């Protein structure tokens, strides 16, 4: 039997805890080390997930440990320096989204991974949601016909504890953005994949409607134009009461697809087709839900070189789109997507 694929965890906060729970229920993967400068979080994480090698300095972990890959789950502005250091030291990395908060830095990380022949993935796990995968495959195969437009709506709720438990999330210099970048980018990524034509221009607006003492937006809206003229309308909100599920509506010349995202309850996503028949596709990786499939997909990509959808380079498109929406919100003009 093969040795388990080991992850070193950099940052023992909310997402690392979710990921560690998933690792705990996934055969063939384990956590071998962890790091966090917050001693309370570090020791609670190490105790809960029985990790012996716990470091308060992530540089020390990177220098001493040789796991199959590092998982980087830290505030957004730290992705670039920590991932670059990890690559310099020869580690494969699964980084949380966004890869960086500027395009230059995200491109630099992709180039560094390529140069060093290392694997760099970004945790856009919903690409491995069963119905999101079906939607993407059907659009890719042209089942809906030419897409005229798509509406991507994220009507989410966040309470005051969201910013209180992570002050970085409210700061522009650390988070890089709010609802559009931090949460809605998951769904914009899937919508862009369904559009099947590269995004070329964006017009956006942002607002603070519920949280007045934050620097990032809690509501962002905009329209993205694709190369073939199709339009994508996006809304990313953390202002909605009660919390509701994401919808992605894709309208094609032969039929329409209405995707409803997963949530804590009910957990499963849904996909309704109008005018065309739903097709069935085997999931590329086993697993009960998207985070688990993404983890398995990433570890197989590192070990066996099998195809993996969340290679870092593939996350550049959604980052460029969201940053163009922000530029447009500031300039009041239509901005091109580079």
Ligand X SMILES: NC(=O)c1ccc[n+]([C@@H]2O[C@H](COP(=O)([O-])OP(=O)(O)OC[C@H]3O[C@@H](n4cnc5c(N)ncnc54)[C@H](O)[C@@H]3O)[C@@H](O)[C@H]2O)c1
Query: Using CA atoms, how far apart are residues 245 and 264, in angstroms rounded to an integer?
Result: 10
Which segment (8-16, 114-122, 315-323, 329-337) binds ligand X by CB under 6 A? Answer: 8-16
**Minimum CB separation from ligand X for residue 59, in Å?**
8
Residue nearer to ligand X on the CB measure, 73 or 252: 73
Single out the residue of 20, 22, 35, 216 in contact with ligand X (rule: CB under 6 A). 35
Quick one: tokens of 310? 């969340």
**What's the DSSP call for residue 270?**
E
Query: Using CA atoms, how far apart are residues 172 and 149, in angstroms rounded to an integer?
Result: 31
Contact (CB, 8 A) for 239 and 219: yes
> ω into residue 242 within 30 of 0, thus cis?
yes
Residue nearer to ligand X on the CB measure, 60 or 141: 60
**Is position 41 an interface residue for ligand X (rule: CB under 6 A)?**
yes
Residue located via tokens 């398995």: 296
Q: Per-residue string for binding with ligand X, 172-211, x by CB under 6 A?
A: ----------x-----------------------------
**Is position 38 an interface residue for ligand X (rule: CB under 6 A)?**
yes
CA distance from start to end of the chain: 46
Q: Per-residue string for binding with ligand X, 59-88, x by CB under 6 A?
A: --------------xxxx-x----------
Q: Per-residue string for binding with ligand X, 128-167, x by CB under 6 A?
A: --------------------------------------x-
Quick one: tokens of 329? 């919100």
Burial of 10 (0-12, 13-18, 19+ CB in 10 A): buried
**Minimum CB separation from ligand X for residue 306, in Å?**
21
Query: Using CA atoms, how far apart are residues 230 and 285, in angstroms rounded to an integer?
Result: 31
Could you tell me the maximum CA-CA distance found in the chain, to the nearest angstrom? 59
Query: Using CA atoms, how far apart are residues 159 and 163, in angstroms rounded to an integer?
Result: 8
Which segment (30-38, 129-137, 145-153, 316-324) binds ligand X by CB under 6 A? Answer: 30-38
- Residue 94, Ramachandran bin (φ over 0: left; ψ between -120 and 50: alpha; else beta): beta
**Minimum CB separation from ligand X for residue 126, in Å?**
8
Single out the residue of 24, 37, 90, 159 in contact with ligand X (rule: CB under 6 A). 37
Q: Which of 293, 267, 5, 287 is nearest to 123 (CA)?
A: 293
# chain residues binding ligand X, by CB under 6 A: 23
In the complex, the residues that contact ligand X under the rule CB under 6 A are 10-15, 35-38, 41, 58, 73-76, 78, 96-97, 123, 125, 166, 182
């Amino acid at each position: 039997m093969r040795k388990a694929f080991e992850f070193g965890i950099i940052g023992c906060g909310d997402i690392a805890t979710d990921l560690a729970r998933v690792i705990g229920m996934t055969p063939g993967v384990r956590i071998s080390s962890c790091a966090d400068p917050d001693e309370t979080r570090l020791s609670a994480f190490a105790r809960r997930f029985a990790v012996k090698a716990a470091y308060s300095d992530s540089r020390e972990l990177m220098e001493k440990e040789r796991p199959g890959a590092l998982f980087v789950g830290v505030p957004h502005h730290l992705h670039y320096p920590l991932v670059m250091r990890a690559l310099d030291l020869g580690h494969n990395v699964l980084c949380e989204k966004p890869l960086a908060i500027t395009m230059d830095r995200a491109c630099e990380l992709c180039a560094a991974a390529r140069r060093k022949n290392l694997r760099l993935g970004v945790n856009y796990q919903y690409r491995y949601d069963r119905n999101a995968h079906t939607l993407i495959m059907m659009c890719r195969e042209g089942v809906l016909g030419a897409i005229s437009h798509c509406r991507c709506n994220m009507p989410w709720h966040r309470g005051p504890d969201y910013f209180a438990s992570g002050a970085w999330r409210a700061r522009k210099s650390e988070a890089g953005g709010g609802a559009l970048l931090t949460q809605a980018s998951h769904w914009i990524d899937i919508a862009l994949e369904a559009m099947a034509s590269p995004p070329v221009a964006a017009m956006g607006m942002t607002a603070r409607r519920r949280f007045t003492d934050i620097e990032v937006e809690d509501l962002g809206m905009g329209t993205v134009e694709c190369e073939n003229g199709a339009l994508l309308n996006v809304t990313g909100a953390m202002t909605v009461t009660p919390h509701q599920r994401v919808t992605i509506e894709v309208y094609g010349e032969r039929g329409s697809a209405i995707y409803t995202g997963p949530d804590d309850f009910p957990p499963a996503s849904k996909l309704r087709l109008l005018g065309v028949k739903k097709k069935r596709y085997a999931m590329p990786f086993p697993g009960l839900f998207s985070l688990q499939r993404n983890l398995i997909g990433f570890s197989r990509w590192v070990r066996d070189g099998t195809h993996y959808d969340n290679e870092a380079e593939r996350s550049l498109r959604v980052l460029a789109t969201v940053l163009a929406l922000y530029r447009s919100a500031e300039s009041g003009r239509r901005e091109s997507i580079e």
